[in-house]
Structure 1
Amino acid sequence: MHVLILGARAPACLEWARAFRAAGWRVTAGDSLAWPITRASNAIHDYVRLPEPRTETKAWLAALKACIETRAVDLVLPTCEEAFYLAHGRDCLPCRVMTSDFSLMHRLHHKGWFAEMIRDWPVSAPETRLLESREDVAALSDEAGNWVFKPAYSRFANRALIRPRAEALSNIRPTTDQPWVAQRFVAGREHCSYSILLDGRLTAHACYHPRYRVGRGSGIWFEPTDPAPIRVFLERFGTQTGYTGQVAFDFIESPDGRCHAIECNPRATSGVHLFDDQPNALVAALLGAEGVLTPTHAPRQVALAMLLFAAHKHLFDRQFWRDYHRARDVVTRPGDHAPLPAQIPGLAEIIGRAIARRSGLLAAATADSEWNGQTL
């Protein structure tokens, strides 16, 4: 059997490559970058460089189809937001594609529509208002400090304004095509879930607290947690939607023990690393094995990112260094160390894109594959 795993720049892709290799599959990884981290791993047999899905969607799908046909690929698995382009074009691809239908993924990706979808669920979203004009924003200016403002299509807290001053709202210019949402601020402990479902049936589930992050964005240290309401939420989500594929949610657990669903990411996230010591079971869960796979309790981390993006803030914090030494790195693995130094050229390539596109580093890391509601 042959799997093509997309989003090779992501450590999640590396995790899946190792899992499929352990399960006896032939593994090809794909991305638009020349030197993504997964390319350096001995878990993959081949690497294919693809066009950028966001700007060259038709060419990207054509290249995928050619790759599937010439390499006899049996399964395509996305890990980043190329999942949206894959879902939109999956009917033209001659193999199994691990995504849900595009319309459901769109509904989940749009932060306002997702909040509306789960409004009456036991675990629901905080009060959320859709903002499609400057007037919508101005209506909240007197109580801006009670709200979180963010684009309806966004990721990694990119451009989010958390309890801003009223004058900061002047930078928000929503439209009907590029709306924002305002979500009432809820204080508490953050949990991130990662799950796999097949036709609505939960087959794998993990939850974690991202103790350390790159800025306010992506988590880089993952402490397993297991709030019961979140597991119940995922079971209901599967029943209500019939979802297939990987899906992740962000939650806030308030001091009274209630969990609030903040947003949905219908793709892979760092939660997949919590299954790094169960590779065969992880692949079986993706393919629909009975039961629900759950992770072991050890924390994981992206060790180099901890040193580059978090250590300078915690130089004299003993707890930080204890956490660093007790967590397992998700990039290195016995017998597969090349991805560790491969992070440097991969990061350099993204820095080059950030300079060329005059954007921040996080924005440059996703600019070629993210989907922001534009017509496909």
Structure 2
Amino acid sequence: MVTTAKKANILFTGGRSPATLDLIRLFAKDGYNNFVAESLKSNLSGVSKYVKKNFLIPSAALETEDFIYHLVDIIREYRIDILIPNCEEVFYISKYKEKLEKYCYVFTSSIDVLTQLHSKFQFIELLEKLDIRYPKSQLIDHRQDLIHELKNIDKFVLKPDFSRFASQVIINDKSNEKIDNIRIDEQYKWVLQEYIKGSAFCSYSVAQDGKVLASSIYPSVYFAGQGGTVHFESVNIPEIYLIIEKIVA
């Protein structure tokens, strides 16, 4: 008798994202059973023919405990084998990873690792330890310190320590309209960096146990705002790939 091994049940978060939908399609082609949990009603992935069931759940940011409770409930009832977080939900899932791992495999790092990579300044400190070149950077938590430092430089990049999609990045603009209106204190720190002119590239990699399993490097040509890059052509740049390997290891 020929038997067919059961393919795993996969639960994705961040169904609103086109990237999540693309992952779902890839997993479906290999025969996996896909489920989606999303807090927004406008859920791109939820209507895909490759999704077995779509769940509307509480917001990870606004109702964190309820968010985790609903994930556990879904995982148990539908016998989810692997939870793959996408979008900012990954930070909340990472924080509760130990609890969620009682019920399925959670494909994300610990919250300590994610914080180190997400913090613009902690990431610079990591690059320094790994002897990887980086822009001169300093952490600023007082407005007067920022004003003082800006007097001594012409070109700069200023960004919140924790931010996404370059949503608040200031580049070479010392105008009062920009500087006076930002929040800067002990709880909301900024990173001041030297401005480096050149070609920008992004990378997206999947890694496990210190090894790069998949990686894509692509040029920053089309932007959503200042930072989010949308591109559909990867390039081969060995120097960038070596940096990725060094960070992952």
TM-score normalised by the chain length of structure 2: 0.92
2:230 is matched with: 220
State the AA in 1 paired with 2:210.
G
1:35 aligns with 2:38: no
| 2-structure distance, mates of 1:228, 1:217 | 23
Give the superposition deviation at 1:210: 2.7
Q: Which amino acid aligns with 2:190?
A: W
Cα distance in 1 between the residues matched to 2:191 and 2:181: 14
After superposing on structure 2, the runs of 4+ consecutive aligned residues of structure 1 that deviate more than 6 Å are none
Q: 2:212 aligns with which of 187, 190, 202?
A: 202
Q: Quote the residue 2:128 is aligned against.
A: 119
How many percent of aligned residue pairs carry the same amino acid?
A: 28
The counterpart of 1:171, out of the listed 161, 167, 181, is 181
Any conservation in 2 of the 1:144–1:165 contact (CA below 8 Å)?
no
Q: CA deviation at 1:59?
A: 0.6
- Once the 2 structures are TM-superposed, how far is the Cα of residue 228 of structure 1 from its aligned partner? 1.3
Q: 1:201 deviation in Å? A: 0.9
Distance 2:222 2:152 in 1: 30
Shift of 1:125: 2.0
1:109 pairs with 2:118? yes
Higher relative contact order (CA 8 A, sep 6+): 1
Mapped to 2, the partners of 1:176 and 1:108 lie a distance apart of 20
How far the C-alpha of 1:67 sits from its partner, in A, is 0.5
SS of 2:22 mapped into structure 1: helix
Please state whether the residue corresponding to 2:62 is helix, strand or coil.
coil
Q: How many residues align?
A: 239
Q: How far, CA to CA, are the matches of 1:169 and 1:143 in structure 2?
A: 15
Q: Report the 3-state secondary structure (helix = DSSP H, G, I; strand = E; otherwise coil) of the residue aligned with 2:77.
A: helix
In the TM superposition, what is the alpha-carbon distance from 1:144 to its structure 2 partner? 5.1
Instruction: Name the residue aligned to 1:83.
Output: 90
Cα pair distance change 1:227/1:122, threshold 3 Å: farther
Deviation at 1:43, TM superposition (A): 1.3
Distance of 2:235 and 2:136 partners within structure 1 = 25
**1:6-17 equivalence runs, <5 A:** 6-17=13-24
Structure 2, unpaired ranges of 5+: 1-7
| Deviation string, structure 1 residues 62-118 (Cα, Å, up to 9, x no partner) | 010001001100000011111110010011111000011111111111101111111
TM-superposition CA deviations, 1:153-187 (whole Å, max 9, x none): 11111011011125332223312221111111111
The answer on 1:73 being equivalent to 2:80 is yes
Question: Given that residues 133 and 173 in structure 1 are in contact (C-alpha distance below 8 angstroms), is that contact kept between their aligned partners in structure 2?
Answer: no
1:98 aligns with 2:103: no
The one-letter code matched in structure 1 to 2:174 is: R
TM-score, normalization: structure 1? 0.61
- The one-letter code matched in structure 1 to 2:44 is I
| Residue matched to 2:57 | 50
- The one-letter amino acid paired with 1:141 is L
Structure 1 gap ranges (5+): 240-376
RMSD of the TM alignment (CA)? 1.4
